[in-house]
């Protein structure tokens, strides 16, 4: 652990940790969209800008940098809000809202930073091309169902060749991390649909309470990756906990 200064306050932080995460852990808010602690930050949205002053060759230098992928280093002094930072965040938000005028979170931030959100009609795209869904699918789920497709104006995220996904297991992790909530998950009695990826999956329901447990493909994936018992796989977490609690009580452990 080392001492760093954020907004004039000395903070104990883990060397090498994400500067953004350190600030958030200490109750200091920095606007961000593409950061998620489960995956490596690669600074796609550029919203989490801060000013960092660090010593280099005996001289102090200040630079504007994204904080999610900037490591905590000894002796750094960080400013999270200044005229310069706000101007730069405003520029970033102008680009983001032009790309995704329908994204509610982007519109809220744009309004907060004085971007004329009314100039952009609420229509069209919600995806800011941050790539978080691609990273989570690949690095957390180990699936690789998604990637960037197209170029320039046509750039998008999707399945290979924008086709029906063969790889997707319907875990919905991509939807849960998407900062603009533009990945819809539609659960019916028997199916889970992710229209953005053109994927439809069969849902397995808990054999005790009937609640949706996961998709068939997700359970098969878990069987392969964590060797989960068949019996455990067909019961939802709540019923599983109750079952184990009753078992422990019957055996006199509680
Ligand atoms: S739902 Fe499909 S695309 Fe989304 S993270 Fe899971 S496997 Fe990947
Ligand atoms: S769908 Fe969501 S998570 Fe994926 S790139 Fe677009 S905004 Fe980011
Ligand atoms: S949150 Fe840091 S660049 Fe997006």
Distance from C-alpha of 67 to C-alpha of 22, rounded to nearest angstrom? 10
Query: 13 and 103, same structural domain?
Result: yes
Distance from C-alpha of 73 to C-alpha of 70, rounded to nearest angstrom? 9
Q: Determine how many CB atoms are found less than 10 A away from the CB of residue 117.
A: 18
Distance from C-alpha of 212 to C-alpha of 191, rounded to nearest angstrom? 10
Query: 139 and 113, same structural domain?
Result: no
- Take residue 220 and report the two structure tokens written for it: 């098969």
Contacts of 250 (CB under 8 A, 6+ apart): none
Query: 236 and 178, same structural domain?
Result: yes
Query: 138 and 49, same structural domain?
Result: no
CA count, 13 A, side-chain hemisphere, 50:
31
Q: Is residue 175 part of a domain?
A: yes
| Residue with CA nearest ligand 1 atom 6 | 171
Query: 153 and 76, same structural domain?
Result: no
Q: Is residue 155 part of a domain?
A: yes
Contact of 168 with 177, CB cutoff 8 Å: no
Q: Is residue 65 part of a domain?
A: yes
Query: 147 and 108, same structural domain?
Result: no
Amino acid 253: pLDDT: 65
Amino acid 224: pLDDT: 84
Query: 112 and 6, same structural domain?
Result: yes
Q: Is residue 251 part of a domain?
A: no
Q: Is residue 23 part of a domain?
A: yes
pTM for this predicted structure: 0.88
Tell me the three state secondary structure of residue 94: helix
CATH number at residue 62: 3.10.20.740
- Interval between CA 49 and ligand 3 midpoint (Å): 8
Domain termination site, one of 119, 154, 174: 119
Residue 252's alpha-carbon distances to 3, 49, 224, 246, 249, in angstroms, are: 49, 56, 34, 10, 5
Contact of 93 with 47, CB cutoff 8 Å: yes
- The response to whether residue 101 sits with its C-beta less than 6 Å from ligand 2 reads no
- The response to whether residue 131 sits with its C-beta less than 6 Å from ligand 2 reads yes
Tell me the three state secondary structure of residue 61: strand
Domain termination site, one of 119, 150, 182: 119
- The response to whether residue 128 sits with its C-beta less than 6 Å from ligand 2 reads yes
Contact of 78 with 22, CB cutoff 8 Å: no
Query: 70 and 31, same structural domain?
Result: yes
Ligand index nearest the alpha carbon of residue 132: 2
Amino acid 56: pLDDT: 85
Q: Range of 219's domain? A: 132-246
DSSP 8-class letter at 249 = H
- Around ligand 1, the residues with Cβ closer than 6 Å are 136-137, 141, 143, 145-146, 168-174, 194, 197
| Residue with CA nearest ligand 1 atom 4 | 174
Domain termination site, one of 53, 86, 119: 119
Query: 152 and 100, same structural domain?
Result: no
Q: Is residue 180 part of a domain?
A: yes
Contact of 131 with 148, CB cutoff 8 Å: yes
How many domains does the structure of the chain reveal?
A: 2
Q: Is residue 216 part of a domain?
A: yes
Query: What radius of gyration, in Å, describes the C-alpha atoms of the chain?
Result: 22
Please list the pLDDT of the chain residue by residue as tens digits (254 residues).
999 999 999 999 999 999 999 999 999 999 999 999 999 999 999 999 999 999 988 899 999 999 999 999 999 999 999 999 999 999 999 999 999 999 999 999 999 999 988 888 888 899 999 999 999 999 999 999 999 998 888 899 999 876 777 899 999 999 999 999 999 999 999 999 999 999 999 999 898 898 888 999 999 998 888 876 666 677 888 888 887 787 777 777 66
Amino acid 231: pLDDT: 67
Q: Is residue 125 part of a domain?
A: no
Query: 144 and 104, same structural domain?
Result: no
Distance from C-alpha of 206 to C-alpha of 167, rounded to nearest angstrom? 24
- Give the relative orientation of helices 83-99 and 104-112 as an angle to the nearest 10 degrees: 150
Query: 211 and 113, same structural domain?
Result: no
Query: 105 and 62, same structural domain?
Result: yes
């Amino acid at each position: 652990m080392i001492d760093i200064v954020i907004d004039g306050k000395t903070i104990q932080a883990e060397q090498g940790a994400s500067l953004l995460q350190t600030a958030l852990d200490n109750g200091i808010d920095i606007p961000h969209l593409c950061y998620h602690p489960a995956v490596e930050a690669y600074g796609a949205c550029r919203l989490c800008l801060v000013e960092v002053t660090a010593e280099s060759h005996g001289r102090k230098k200040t630079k504007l940098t994204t904080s999610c992928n900037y490591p905590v280093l000894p002796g750094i002094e960080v400013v999270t809000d200044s005229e310069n930072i706000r101007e730069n965040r405003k520029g970033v938000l102008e680009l983001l809202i032009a790309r995704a005028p329908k994204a509610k979170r982007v519109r809220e931030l744009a309004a907060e930073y004085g971007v004329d959100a009314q100039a952009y009609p609420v229509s069209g795209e919600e995806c800011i091309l941050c790539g978080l869904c691609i990273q989570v699918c690949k690095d957390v789920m180990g699936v690789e169902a998604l990637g960037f497709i197209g170029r320039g104006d046509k750039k998008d995220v999707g399945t290979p060749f924008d086709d029906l996904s063969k790889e997707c297991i319907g875990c919905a992790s991509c939807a849960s991390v998407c900062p603009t909530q533009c990945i819809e998950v539609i659960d019916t009695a028997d199916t889970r649909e992710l229209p953005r990826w053109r994927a439809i999956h069969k849902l397995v329901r808990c054999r005790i309470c009937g609640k949706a447990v996961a998709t068939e493909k997700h359970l098969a994936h878990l069987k392969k990756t964590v060797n989960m018992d068949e019996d455990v796989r067909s019961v939802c977490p709540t019923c599983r906990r109750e079952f184990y609690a009753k078992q422990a009580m019957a055996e006199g452990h509680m």
